[in-house]
Amino acid sequence: MKVALLGDTHGRENWIVYALDRFAAEGLTTVIQVGDLGVWPGPTATRMWNRIDELLTHHGQTMMVAPGNHEDYDEIARLEARDDGWLRFRDHILLAPRGHRTEIAGRSLCWLGGAASVDRGWRLAHQQLTGQRTWWAGEAISDEDVQATIAGGPADIMVSHEAPQGVPSIEAAIQGNPHGFLPEDLAYARENRSRFTEAFNAVRPKLLLHGHYHRFVDEVATFEGFNTHVFGLSQDGDPRSLAMLELTSLKPAALPDRPRAR
């Protein structure tokens, strides 16, 4: 069985429509999305997600999401959990609670969303100036989230927004502070990533699917006595944020770039 993989979308409707159309053309009806979906407050976002849900219905698709750090966690906290544990955002858009476990085609999956915003201070300053909120404390992975994830034991696949410490290409990309983020925000991000790494080391997945870093990652990394294929998806606008996964072999592959239909 093959499933679709989708990187950070940031609520960009035209890109989401393009991605879902591409996946439908490949016959993919299950979409795994790795966070920064774009769960925003307000009626404009509500109408957009209603339209996206209609498109998912049309294609016979379901999108399963590990929420990121740029989401309205107040809204997520109000969502009702289904009997199977998924949080219903729309009929065909399901958000994973942290530590959630599922099985698809005989493969076990562990879901751990959340990450820390290195631009937290800038977002809070923007809110003070404009009244527009773009940061929620619920983005951070808590100790309770870590323990809930560890309690579920190992899994074949881990779906997350964050990535663990020790992935060479990511470590190289985030060295230094070229964007001038506040030191306290960098420390906040490191602490959050350490929590994620603790949970990751307990799950010991064969494959990690993640977003957050807005870059394509495809490498096998060695951690605490185990190896994991780390597959990071890029962000909206980049063809490398669209991929598919063959669940039998656990081999993900980026979709070929094609001219946009919309």
Q: Are 236 and 13 in contact (CB under 8 A)?
A: no
Q: Convert the pLDDT of each residue in 148-168 to its tens digit.
A: 999 999 999 999 999 999 999
- CA distances to 108, 195, 197, 221, 246 from 156, rounded to whole Å, are 5, 20, 16, 15, 13
Q: Dihedral sign, CA of 124, 14, 216, 3?
A: positive
Q: CA 6 to CA 242: how far, in whole Å?
A: 5
Mapping DSSP onto H, E and C, the string for 52-102 reads: HHHHHHHHCCEEEECCCCCCCHHHHHHCCECCCCCEEEECCEEECCCCEEE
pLDDT digits (tens, 9 = 90+) for 46-65: 999 999 999 999 999 999 99
So where are the chain's domains?
Answer: 2-254
Per residue in 209-229, pLDDT tens?
999 999 999 999 999 999 999
What is the fold, at CATH topology level, of the domain defined by 2-254?
Answer: Purple Acid Phosphatase; chain A, domain 2 (3.60.21)
Given a cut of 60, is residue 262 above it in pLDDT?
Answer: no
What's the predicted TM-score (pTM) here? 0.96
Question: What average pLDDT score do residues 74-97 get?
Answer: 98
